[in-house]
Amino acid sequence: MSFKKMTAALLCSLSMAASAVSCSSGNGSSAPENGGDNSASSKADSNYTISLDSFADTLGAGWNYGNTLEACTAGTPSETVWGNPAASQEMINAVADAGFKTVRIPVSYLSKIDDNNGYKIDEAWLSRVNEVVDYCYNRDLNVIINMHGDGYNSIDGGWFLCNGDNQDYIKEKYAAVWKQIAEKFKDYDEHLIFESMNEEFDGEYHDPVPEYYANINSYNQIFVDTVRSTGEKNTHRWLLMPGWNTDINYTTGDFGFELPTDEQNTAGEGRIVVSVHCYDPWDYCGDESKGKIFLWGKKGDEIIEVNKASKKSKPNWGDETYLAGQVQKLKEKFVDNGIPVIVGEYGCIDKTNGNAGIPNQIAENRAYWDGFFAGTCASMGITPVYWDNGYNGPYGFGLFKRDTAEQSQPEIIETIIRAVNDKDPDAGMSTKITSYTSQKADEKKEAGAYIGIQTEKYTFRNSCTDGQYGAATEHFNTLIRWEDTDGDGSDDIVDAGAKFEDAVIKESGTYTVAVTGYDFSADSESLNMLFVSTDLAYSPKVGIKDVKLYCDDTEIPVKNPVVMEDANGNLYIELVNKYNDALSPIDYTMAKDSFKIEFTIEGVENVIK
Distance CA 453, CA 456 (A): 10
DSSP state at residue 314: S
Residue 179 has a pLDDT of 98
Cβ contacts of residue 463 below 8 Å, gap of 6+?
12, 13, 14, 15, 450, 452, 470, 531, 533, 566, 572
State which residues of the chain have pLDDT below 50. 2-37, 438-442
pLDDT at 393: 86
Residues 6+ away with beta carbon under 8 Å from 437: 359, 360, 569
Provide the pLDDT for residue 444. 58
| Helices (H), ranges, 157-257 | 167-184, 210-229, 248-252
Q: Is 123 marked active-site?
A: no
Q: What is the dihedral of CA 282, 288, 293, 298, to 10 degrees?
A: 50
Selecting among 199, 200, 320, 565, the annotated active-site residue is 199
What does the domain layout of the chain look like in residue ranges?
50-421, 441-606
- Of 277, 369, 366, 360, the closest CA to residue 326 belongs to 277
Q: Which of 345, 364, 414, 598 is catalytic?
A: 345
Please report the pLDDT score of residue 39 as a whole number: 65
Threshold 0.75, pTM exceeds: no
Write the pLDDT tens digit of every residue in 127-144: 999 999 999 999 999 999
User: Is residue 154 a contact partner of residue 2, using CB atoms and an 8 Å limit?
Assistant: yes
Query: 199 catalytic, yes or no?
Result: yes
Quick one: which H or E segment has residue 80?
none
- Quote the Cα angle for 123-128-130, to 5°: 95
Q: What is the DSSP letter of 32?
A: P
Beta carbons of 303 and 369 less than 8 angstroms apart: no
Pick from 284, 272, 281: which is nearest to 334 by CA?
272
**Cα end-to-end span (Å), the chain:** 46
Instruction: Name the DSSP letter for residue 404.
Output: T
Predicted local confidence at residue 290, as pLDDT: 54
Phi-psi region of 318 (alpha: psi -120 to 50; beta: other; left: phi over 0): left
Match domain 441-606 to its CATH number in 3.30.70, 1.10.12, 3.40.50, 2.60.40.
2.60.40
CA angle, residues 87, 91, 92, in degrees to nearest 5: 95
Q: Is 3.40.50.1010 the CATH classification of the domain at 50-421? A: no
Q: What is the torsion angle, in degrees rounded to the nearest 10, for the CA atoms of residue 102, residue 106, residue 112 and residue 113?
A: 90
Return mean pLDDT, the chain. Answer: 90
User: CA nearest 470: which of 542, 544, 403, 409?
Assistant: 403
By residue count, the chain amounts to 609
CA distance 486 to 259: 46
